[in-house]
A and B are shown apart, each in its own frame.
Chain A
Amino acid sequence: MEINPVALLTILGMGAVTYATRIGGFWLLGRITPTKRVEAWMRAIPGAVLVSLIAPALLAAGVVGFIAAAATVLIAARTHRLLPALVVGVVIVAVARLVFHAG
């Protein structure tokens, strides 16, 4: 259970900059009053970030990924609930990989 002092210092530094990124956006908006355009920009951020998180992963997941994604979207749109959509998506991928060795 030894900790190298330089490693400790590095980890503390990594933690400090990461925390700065976590509070930075919130902090900044408390200092400036956003214009109408900035407000429109803020409203567009969540969807854009979510799409950016998804798109490359989806492309990498191939045909199985697309089928699972379509099922997930369909169920999320119908039920407005997270868990059923999530379970169906994961099960489709797991079955495809375990049974058909696909994806």
Chain B
Amino acid sequence: MFSTAPSLTLDAQNKILRYHVAGDVISTTARGLRAELERVFESAPAGAFEEFEIDLKAARMVDSVGLNFLVWLWRSVSDRGAKLRVLISSPDIDRTFQFTRLSSRLEVDLHS
């Protein structure tokens, strides 16, 4: 079993690891999120999940540090042979992903 966080749930049947973020992914929060996920990944056995789903529907803003966090997350998840899905509800964040072409690398689901 690997390290868990209150905001983390594992769908063992579908091998989806879901991570819920309660607010913005910005310079003042992104480092804490990364530290938490580093602990999770370090303790996760190979093949523990095939998809990592990060739920950012509560976020109103993702700044440059937040975008860097997502690039890091994409690399970490890809290195494990899994795919990354990002759930968002803000059209502004969606636009930022498009401007920075992150949407071409990440699977982004915009929920209105």
**Pair from one complex:** no
Using a CB–CB distance below 8 Å, which chain B residues touch chain A?
Answer: none
Using a CB–CB distance below 8 Å, which chain A residues touch chain B?
Answer: none
